[in-house]
């Protein structure tokens, strides 16, 4: 079933903080080594924030770059949706902080939490408002400062993540023929115990005890998450293609969530795609959670790998579990 959303991406931008943390740097912090990290994850380095830099700052950088590139005034933005699991604060929403900083005084907005599938969910939401005709220029942002919730004494998680943000502009389209053609999002709450941060919410508010027990860090059953992601990334990709009458041969580019190169390659193999049709930048950024897909789109545009009319597939799996997929006819 195709779902013509009458909305398209008309601009992309991304931002990563300048400071780079290499595998060699991590070797000095925990018992790990560059070979293990590269072979098991595909990551060589990641960008990390300095003190005082939060998700809203990265999001603002990406948003401002997008406004400059599109040459549009901030007042023209009417909706801001920010996907993040590392907002500056519990409230106000990061969207409010971004709105104020960029001067988008005619926009309303909110944050959305869907971990690594957050950007696909946020794009689905932004596209619904634009497709319904009530909004003309939606800013959809994925921004995460994963280093704020990572235990740099836990080698099983600290090597995986990085910080970054990406933003896209969503504008009205000819429904069904260009822009967003279809999406599939789902959640599977049974996956909750496999990837979560126990402290800091209403169940375990911050206390000396929660800090002592390291409850404000990411806890992960890596192998479980790995297996689920391998299965669901491929399933959703195939499902979206099949129900829209496409085969993987029609795909110009898959921009997958960047959690582990082996997860990406497993999906790629299942779809029978060669490397030129799959965007990979995990080597440079690690897993930036909600930012991986917009950063991937930004890199694809900069590398000239996206042309008007190309069939593009976005696919992500994250904590929850959350799974998101989207099929687009690239339209700018």
Binding residues for ligand COA, per CB under 6 A?
Answer: 32, 36-37, 40-41, 116, 155-156, 159, 195, 222-223, 225-226, 229, 259-260, 287, 317-318
Active site residue 257: yes
Active site residue 135: no
Q: Provide, rounded to whole angstroms, the least separation between the CB of residue 115 and ligand COA.
A: 7
3-class state of residue 204 by DSSP:
coil
Active site residue 106: no
Centre a 10 Å sphere on the Cβ of residue 28 and count the other Cβ atoms it contains: 7
Please pick, among 116, 135, 185, 219, the residue that the annotation labels catalytic: 116
Please spell the DSSP secondary structure of 108-149, one letter per residue.
EEEEE--GGGHHHHHHHHHHHHHHTTS-S-EEEEEEEEGGGG
Q: Provide, rounded to whole angstroms, the least separation between the CB of residue 225 and ligand COA.
A: 4
- Based on CB atoms, which residue is closest to ligand COA, 82 or 195? 195
Cα–Cα dist 142/111, whole Å: 10
- Enter the tokens of residue 30: 């925990």
Cα–Cα dist 295/57, whole Å: 16
Q: Provide, rounded to whole angstroms, the least separation between the CB of residue 293 and ligand COA.
A: 12
Q: Is residue 34 within a helix (H) or strand (E), and if so which, with residue range?
A: helix 34-41
- Based on CB atoms, which residue is closest to ligand COA, 129 or 226? 226
Identify the DSSP state of 106: T
- Based on CB atoms, which residue is closest to ligand COA, 10 or 258? 258
Please pick, among 47, 96, 257, 281, the residue that the annotation labels catalytic: 257
- Based on CB atoms, which residue is closest to ligand COA, 154 or 310? 154
Which of 252, 236, 272, 262 is closest to 312 using CA atoms? Answer: 252
Q: Provide, rounded to whole angstroms, the least separation between the CB of residue 270 and ligand COA.
A: 17
What residues are annotated to the active site?
Answer: 116, 257, 287
């Amino acid at each position: 079933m195709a779902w013509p959303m009458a909305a398209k991406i008309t601009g992309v931008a991304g931002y990563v903080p300048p400071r780079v943390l290499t595998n060699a740097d991590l070797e000095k912090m925990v018992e790990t080594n560059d070979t293990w990290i590269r072979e098991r994850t595909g990551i060589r380095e990641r960008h990390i924030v300095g003190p005082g830099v939060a998700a809203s700052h990265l999001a603002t950088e990406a948003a401002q770059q997008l406004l400059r590139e599109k040459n549009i005034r901030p007042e023209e933005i009417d909706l801001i949706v920010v996907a993040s699991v590392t907002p500056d604060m519990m409230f106000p929403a990061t969207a409010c902080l971004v709105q104020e900083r960029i001067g988008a005084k005619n926009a309303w907005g909110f944050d959305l939490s869907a971990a690594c599938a957050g950007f696909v969910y946020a794009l689905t939401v932004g596209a619904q408002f634009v497709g319904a005709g009530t909004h003309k220029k939606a800013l959809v942002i994925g921004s995460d400062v994963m280093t704020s919730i990572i235990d740099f004494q836990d080698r099983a998680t600290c090597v995986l993540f990085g910080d970054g943000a990406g933003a896209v502009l969503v504008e009205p389209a000819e429904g069904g023929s260009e822009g967003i053609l279809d999406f599939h999002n789902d959640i599977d709450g049974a996956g909750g115990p496999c990837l979560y941060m126990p402290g800091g919410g209403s169940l375990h508010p911050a206390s000396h005890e929660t800090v002592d027990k390291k409850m404000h860090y990411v806890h992960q059953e890596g192998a479980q998450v790995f297996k689920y992601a391998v299965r669901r990334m491929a399933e959703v990709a195939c499902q979206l293609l099949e129900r829209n009458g496409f085969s993987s041969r029609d795909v110009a580019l898959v921009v997958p969530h960047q959690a582990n190169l082996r997860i990406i390659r497993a999906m790629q193999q299942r779809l029978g795609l060669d490397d030129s049709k799959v965007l990979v930048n995990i080597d440079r950024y690690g897993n930036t959670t909600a930012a991986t897909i917009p950063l991937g789109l930004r890199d694809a545009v900069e590398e000239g790998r996206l042309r008007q009319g190309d069939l593009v597939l976005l696919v992500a799996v994250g904590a929850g579990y959350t799974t998101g997929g989207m099929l687009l006819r690239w339209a700018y």
